[in-house]
Structure 1
Amino acid sequence: MGETLFISDLHLSPQRPALIQLFIDFLEQRAPAATQLFVLGDLFDAWIGDDDDPLPEVRAALKRLTDRGTRCSIMHGNRDFLLGRRFAWATGCHLIRDPCLIQLDDEPTLLMHGDLLCTDDLAYQRFRRRVRNPIVQRLFLWSPLSKRRRIAASYRQRSGEAMAQKPDAIMDVNSAAVSRLMRRAGVRRLIHGHTHRPQDHALELDGLPALRQVLCDWTDDRGELLVHQAGTWRREPWTANGAGCTR
């Protein structure tokens, strides 16, 4: 069976050309060796609608990847939850729900972006419920692009200021929420991003061992992927020259 790759939290934007090139190199050089690529949210730092395409080079690179036979599934994050059908059609990617249950080697595995697990951040959870409302989204997408850009820029600024004032603990996952969702899904493996705290967390769920694997956020010169192949798991770096990867 071929490889399955998991990445998240790239936060691509026109202001970070080195990161864009790092990701395109990954799509051209590393990802084609895999059967499946999962992007678990926040591929883009902002997405204000499919009628605005700030990074056509990324869209084109994703299309080349899917045309070569690698299936690419993208989950909405807290920054790019307005990715829609037009983007999926243009890239050949598939948009998947959060959470999403998959099977790997007959093992059920739960995939999430991760923000739903941060239940201690009550203000963010209220905001999330509001902006994920289909009516609110429809009204936003009907607004002129210029207005949407101003709203997005204002949100990023206010979000950064709010995060700077919050304790670190409140922005991490809630362990009870993790156990509850894993139990409900009937899984003992959870993979997510969002928190930018990559680590494998061993836990016990109803007396049985379980694992929560947190994906790495990408920087301008380094990323990381979680790789599954033939029942084995490993973390693999991806750097500007591709160094450190195992093919």
Structure 2
Amino acid sequence: MTTLFISDLHLSPNTPETTDCFIKFMHNEATQAEALYVLGDLFEFWIGDDDNSEFATKIKLEFKHLVASGIPCFFIRGNRDFLVGKRFSKQTGVQLLEQETIIDLYGKKAVILHGDTLCTRDVSYLEYRKKVHLPWLQWLYNRTPFFIKKKIVSKIQSDIKQDKNTKSLEIMDVTPSEVESVMEKHNVDLMIHGHTHRPNIHRINSTKEEKTRIVLGDWYTQGSVLVYDKNGYDLQTRPFI
């Protein structure tokens, strides 16, 4: 049996190839897994759990059917879907996890996270993140009519796109010292995350022992899946068909 990890699909009605690849993955691979972990940014932007659009319903049903078949699904919210909440969890059966979660992978202790909090050089983003995670602001947003939410999100998406165009690739990547700090805090030598869209397996030489950081890829031009079993792991791609 395998444990599967995905992130940064950025699903949207405007990207049918990605959606088709995701649905194929859910039907053909996820149903054979021991568990599925989604490490954030499943959606291009999740407006709120009151999204009853045809597209949102289709994606939620995929998770509902998978969980009903006996495959547990776990979700860590990313910077694009931080508004996924308890209603989504109840409707799908997906279990929401903390920002940094420790799991056991066949006897191997690992910390999993979306990865945005590792990018400490991106000061403007971290300030934005702190603001949108304020409980009172989310409480107010969740009680806003859906059509107004759509306008708010449209403005946020425009601002995010403009902001990214002015930043260097270095700023938007993880800060090595923060990676080591998080791993030391949780006493692990394995980290799995997404967010940076730079799939790779990094070896970190520390004073104690070698550590490993696995970065999941995005689903812009192909799928990206980390397949983990008792014999090891493999970071794989899935073609769009």
Identity %: 37
Q: Which runs of 5+ in 2 are unaligned?
A: none
- What displacement does 1:206 show? 3.0
1:218 deviation in Å? 0.4
For 1:175-206, what per-residue CA distance to the aligned partner results, in whole angstroms no more than 9, with x for missing partners? 01001010000000000000000011101233
CA shift, 1:127, in A, is 0.7
User: Residue 21 of structure 1: CA displacement?
Assistant: 1.5
Matched ranges for 1:1-247 at <5 A: 2-54=1-53, 55-219=56-220, 222-241=222-241
TM-score, normalization: structure 1?
Answer: 0.94
Equivalent residue pairs, number: 239
CA RMSD of aligned residues (A): 1.1
Contact 1:7 1:215 in 2 (8 A): yes
Please give the per-residue CA displacement for 1:52-88, whole angstroms capped at 9, x wherever unaligned.
Answer: 1332111111111111111110110000011111111
Counterpart-to-counterpart distance in 2, 1:189 and 1:205: 12
Q: What are the Cα deviations for residues 198-232 of structure 1, in whole angstroms up to 9, with x where unaligned?
A: 01110123331001110010025x20110111131
Q: Give SS of 2:161's match.
A: helix
Q: Distance in 1 between matches of 2:168 and 2:234?
A: 31
- Could you tell me how far 1:43 is from its partner in structure 2? 0.4
Letter in 2 for 1:132: H
**Structure 2 residue aligned with 1:244:** none
Contact kept? 1:40, 1:111, Cα under 8 Å: yes
Q: Is the 8 A contact 1:183 1:205 kept in 2?
A: no
Taking the aligned partners of 1:130 and 1:27, their CA distance within structure 2 comes to 34
Structure 1 CA distance for aligned equivalents of residues 108 and 206 of structure 2: 15
Give the match's secondary structure for 2:34.
Answer: strand
CA contact (8 A) 1:118 1:170 kept: yes
CA contact (8 A) 1:5 1:225 kept: yes
| Cα distance, 1:148 vs structure 2 | 0.8
Structure 1 residue runs of 5 or longer lacking an equivalent are 242-247
Structure 1 residues 4-25: Cα deviation after superposition (integer angstroms, max 9, x where no partner): 0011000011111221111111
Counterpart position of 1:245: none
Cα deviations across residues 108-145 of structure 1 (Å, max 9, x unaligned)?
10001000000001111111011011111011111111
Q: Distance in 2 between matches of 1:86 and 1:49?
A: 9
TM-score, length basis structure 2 = 0.96
Three-state SS of the structure 2 residue aligned to 1:238 is: strand
- In 2, Cα distance between equivalents of 1:134 and 1:206: 39
